Chain A
Amino acid sequence: MTASLDTTRTPRRIQPHLGAEARPVIIVFGALAAMVLLNLVLFPERMGVDYVMQQLRIAAFLGILSAGAMFVLLTGHIDLSVPWTLTAAAMVGAGVHAAFEGTPMAALAIPAALFTGLLAGLWNGIGVAYLRAPSMVWTMGLNALLLGLAVFYSGGYNPQTAASPLMREMAVARLPGGFPVATAIWIAVSVLAVVILYRTPLGAWIYALGRNERVVYLAGIRNRAVIVFVFVWAGLCSALAGVMLAGFSGQAYQAMGDTYLLPTIAAVVLGGTRVTGGSGRYSGTVGGVLVLVLLGSMLSLVQAPEAFRQIAYGLVILTMLLVAREGRST
């Protein structure tokens, strides 16, 4: 007797699992390979170890941000407070460093910055998990609040925004052999992310939440705690990136985070993570980051005006998403 299909209502299309989850990852690395090839052909003289290291360093900032954003997107939510969490954390770090310069307390600069990210994440997470506020507007609200606080603070008082030496080290220094410290930090964050997502129950719950929060709730899992966790994780990643970016440019400044929101989300989505959550591999996110960074560099080398950069960005994202969707059976 053949197994009969229970054809009563299926609430959502049965989404593809691992086998098809690999498809977007393959596509993104394919695109990456294509870009590298293009670079080699167009700018052979530029290609060298130094250039690669430089790209890897730039990728580290976006990479850490995307690691944070990915966790949130996997649960089906979104964090739009990245720009100003990043900036606020950087400003706090610079401020603490300036306040305690010369004393041992100056070492608190980076922890203070990370703590800022933690607080931002808690605010976001508690609002989304307990108030059931829609994450898009709730994180948007925090972004506006932080912006307002920063404007007020920097306008009224003369803030010290110089980055601390440690921050600069994190961003600019290289390990013996030439490998950038920043990229090493990104790798460390990635290792942690991969362990959490694929080797702990928490990771399984994060994916499950994106698939169906009702099921997770009724299965006796603390769904709200998981939501708070992903936002805190994103906040910490934003703060870390902020600290490093401040180190990279030598100071914390107001517009430093604005250009990072779109690429962060784009990198995660390009890597195959669905905006609705529940599906996506971390390797894809890494690939997405590298593709975007390479794309940005190529556009810089060609000295493309801002207009073309924007258009190229949008077109690349759309094309890759459409290609990833094509050929899917649903």
Chain B
Amino acid sequence: MKVFTSRHGRLLFGILILLVMLAIYFSVHPRGVSIRVVESLSNAGASLAFAAVAQTFPVLTGGLDLSIGGMIALTNSLASVVLTGSPLQIAFGFVLVIATGCLCGLVNGTLIVYGRLQPVIATLATGAIFSGLALIVRPRPGGDIPIELGDVFVTSAFDVLPMALVVLAVTCGAVWYPLTRSRLGRGIFAAGSAPEAGRMSGLNVDRSIIAAYVLSGLFASFAGLFLGFQTLAGDATIGVPYTINSIAAVVIGGVALRGGAGHILSAIVGAYTLRSINSILLFSGAPPLAQPFFEGVILVVAVVFASLGLMRQPNRLEALR
């Protein structure tokens, strides 16, 4: 038990904070605890949750993906164009959007591994390219995503379970479970923890790094799709806040930015924590103009908390990793 808490300490702490936030949220919300309220919060946070999950994989390898906003914009714009027509066309559209996300991720991964570029700068540049492409696909916001399709994802199954959460759980579980039980996944952690040791152990660390960025693209495409279902349209500028917020969510949820350690749940927890804080501020009557300020405060507090552990370290040399 002790080992479990030490290994997942940050995640558990993040969950605790989330529960506290949720408690406050439901008490502050005018309609209290009800299915519709749960559903609307689930929907409000789902796209950020997907974005945060996307960010998790590159962060685990010790890198960062600053093109997530661009990938979301591109996949969202693309979705608004191809998700119309007959069911067959829509199915094909799905595949196209997801494949695009993965391809973007592949480009990132290849530049970083074979091009030997630093993740921060490589994804900064590709992010600009993806955003530009999004603008070409969707110069002005619009689109024809059928409302029936959108409804599937923003409502609740059996009127109790928000589909957003179901889709999140299924996609994340389907990826995380096999990943943590494969050498590819072990390689992702090794890349962030001790890449040389990973190679000496026979892991193909390069392949794992590329896989991490492809997964990032995959989940970015899910975010883009979900945004499409919510708004029934595409908007090439929609991705802008997601890059920064995905990093904030990941940090708040407890994933270490240095890499090597973290859990996919942390991303989801962090995303919903951020969203509920947003909503709490909205409903509690805080001046709307103060909202961005409080968002900043929360990020600062989260970082301070995460860093406090390092401060208490008696060996000051160890704090300089």
- Residues of A with Cβ closer than 8 Å to B? 78, 127, 131-134, 136-138, 140-149, 151-152, 155-156, 213-214, 217-218, 223, 262, 265-266, 269, 274-276, 305-315, 317-318, 321-322, 325
Assembly CA distance A314 to B311 (angstroms): 39
Whether A152 pairs with B117 at a CB distance below 8 angstroms is no
Chain A nearest Cβ from B256, distance in angstroms? 9
- B141 at the A interface (CB under 8 A): no
The one of A131, A214, A265 that contacts B121, using a Cβ cutoff of 8 Å = A265
Complex: chain B residue closest to A140, CB-CB? B244
Assembly CA distance A168 to B155 (angstroms): 55
Whether A275 pairs with B129 at a CB distance below 8 angstroms is no
Assembly CA distance A274 to B289 (angstroms): 39
The one of A131, A149, A275, A310 that contacts B311, using a Cβ cutoff of 8 Å = A131
Q: How many residues of B contact A (CB 8 A)?
A: 50
A-B pairs with beta carbons under 8 Å apart, 28 shown: A78-B120, A131-B311, A132-B307, A138-B300, A140-B247, A140-B248, A140-B299, A144-B293, A148-B290, A148-B295, A149-B293, A152-B287, A156-B287, A156-B289, A214-B320, A266-B124, A305-B135, A307-B132, A307-B135, A307-B136, A307-B139, A311-B128, A314-B127, A315-B125, A317-B124, A318-B122, A321-B115, A322-B115
- B284 at the A interface (CB under 8 A): no
Complex: chain B residue closest to A258, CB-CB? B240
Contact code string B94-123 (vs A, CB < 8 Å = 1, else 0): 000000000000000001000111101110
- Residues of B with Cβ closer than 8 Å to A? 64, 111, 115-118, 120-122, 124-129, 131-136, 139, 244, 247-248, 251, 257-258, 287, 289-297, 299-300, 303-304, 306-307, 310-311, 316-317, 319-320
Whether A214 pairs with B124 at a CB distance below 8 angstroms is no
Complex: chain B residue closest to A308, CB-CB? B132
Complex: chain A residue closest to B252, CB-CB? A137
Whether B125 pairs with A318 at a CB distance below 8 angstroms is yes
Whether B135 pairs with A310 at a CB distance below 8 angstroms is yes
In addition to A137-B251, A156-B289, 18 A-B residue pairs with Cβ atoms within 8 Å of each other are A136-B247, A136-B257, A140-B244, A142-B296, A145-B293, A145-B297, A146-B296, A149-B293, A152-B289, A223-B320, A265-B124, A266-B124, A275-B120, A307-B136, A311-B129, A313-B128, A321-B117, A322-B117
Assembly CA distance A330 to B320 (angstroms): 26
Whether A325 pairs with B116 at a CB distance below 8 angstroms is yes
Whether B132 pairs with A309 at a CB distance below 8 angstroms is yes
Interchain residue pairs A-B with the least CB separation, the first 10? A148-B293, A144-B296, A310-B132, A307-B135, A311-B132, A145-B296, A314-B129, A314-B128, A148-B292, A155-B289
Complex: chain B residue closest to A275, CB-CB? B118
Chain B residue numbers with a CB within 8 Å of A132 are 307, 310-311, 319-320
Secondary structure of the B contact surface, majority rule: helix
The one of A127, A218, A309, A317 that contacts B125, using a Cβ cutoff of 8 Å = A317
Whether B299 pairs with A144 at a CB distance below 8 angstroms is yes
Whether B128 pairs with A321 at a CB distance below 8 angstroms is no
Whether A138 pairs with B303 at a CB distance below 8 angstroms is yes
Query: A136 with B135: in contact, given A148-B296, A275-B118 (CB under 8 Å)?
Result: no
Chain B residue numbers with a CB within 8 Å of A317 are 121, 124-125, 128
Chain A residue numbers with a CB within 8 Å of B118 are 269, 274-276
Whether B247 pairs with A137 at a CB distance below 8 angstroms is yes
Query: A318 with B244: in contact, given A131-B311, A269-B121 (CB under 8 Å)?
Result: no
Assembly CA distance A147 to B134 (angstroms): 27
Interface centre among A144, A275, A311 (most CB of B within 10 A): A144
Chain B nearest Cβ from A120, distance in angstroms? 13
Complex: chain B residue closest to A313, CB-CB? B128
Chain B residue numbers with a CB within 8 Å of A307 are 132-136, 139
Assembly CA distance A132 to B136 (angstroms): 42
Chain B residue numbers with a CB within 8 Å of A305 are 135, 139
Whether B292 pairs with A147 at a CB distance below 8 angstroms is yes
Assembly CA distance A318 to B287 (angstroms): 43
Whether A151 pairs with B292 at a CB distance below 8 angstroms is yes
Chain A nearest Cβ from B144, distance in angstroms? 21
Whether A137 pairs with B257 at a CB distance below 8 angstroms is yes
Chain B nearest Cβ from A159, distance in angstroms? 13
Whether B307 pairs with A314 at a CB distance below 8 angstroms is no
Whether A321 pairs with B131 at a CB distance below 8 angstroms is no
Chain A nearest Cβ from B96, distance in angstroms? 20
Assembly CA distance A313 to B70 (angstroms): 14
Assembly CA distance A142 to B244 (angstroms): 13
